[in-house]
């Protein structure tokens, strides 16, 4: 399990920033077994319900999730990703953000 904490600045409004980030990470996180939900102005990815349910429950108890927040600052939007992900999902998000 790895902690994730990235921040990037995107030229444009929050809706455009959200679209650009989702183009980069949505498919990658879904292929790693996560599903996205909009929650209080943020986008949160948590483990998909999987059978057997015990695997899903363990992943939820380990608090596997990542949250993307979008904060407009004038003509730019700051995008922050934070949470805890297993190695594969962490590598996917880090690659999408151009990180290590």
Exposed, middle or buried, 69 (CB in 10 Å: 0-12/13-18/19+)? middle
pLDDT in tens, 29-77: 998 888 999 888 899 999 888 767 887 788 878 888 999 999 999 999 9
Closest CA to 76 of 2, 25, 30, 20: 20
Please provide the distance, in angstroms rounded to a whole number, between the alpha carbons at the two ends of the chain.
15
Looking at the predicted structure, is the pLDDT value of residue 91 above 60? Answer: yes
Strand partners, 39: 42
pLDDT of residue 82: 92
* Residue-range domains of the chain with CATH: 2-96 (3.30.310)
Confidence of residue 92 (pLDDT cuts 50, 70, 90): confident
Confidence of residue 93 (pLDDT cuts 50, 70, 90): confident
Looking at the predicted structure, is the pLDDT value of residue 100 above 60? Answer: no
Looking at the predicted structure, is the pLDDT value of residue 17 above 70? Answer: yes
- What is the pTM (predicted TM-score) of this model? 0.83
DSSP 32: T
């Amino acid at each position: 399990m790895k902690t994730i904490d990235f921040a990037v600045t995107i030229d444009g409004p929050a809706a455009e920033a959200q679209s650009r980030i989702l183009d980069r990470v949505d498919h990658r996180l879904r292929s790693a077994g996560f599903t996205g939900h909009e929650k209080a102005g943020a986008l949160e990815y948590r483990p998909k319900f999987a059978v057997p349910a015990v695997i899903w429950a363990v992943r939820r108890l380990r608090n596997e999730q990542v949250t993307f927040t979008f904060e407009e600052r004038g003509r730019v939007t700051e995008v922050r990703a934070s949470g805890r992900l297993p190695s594969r999902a962490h590598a996917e998000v880090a690659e999408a953000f151009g990180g290590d």
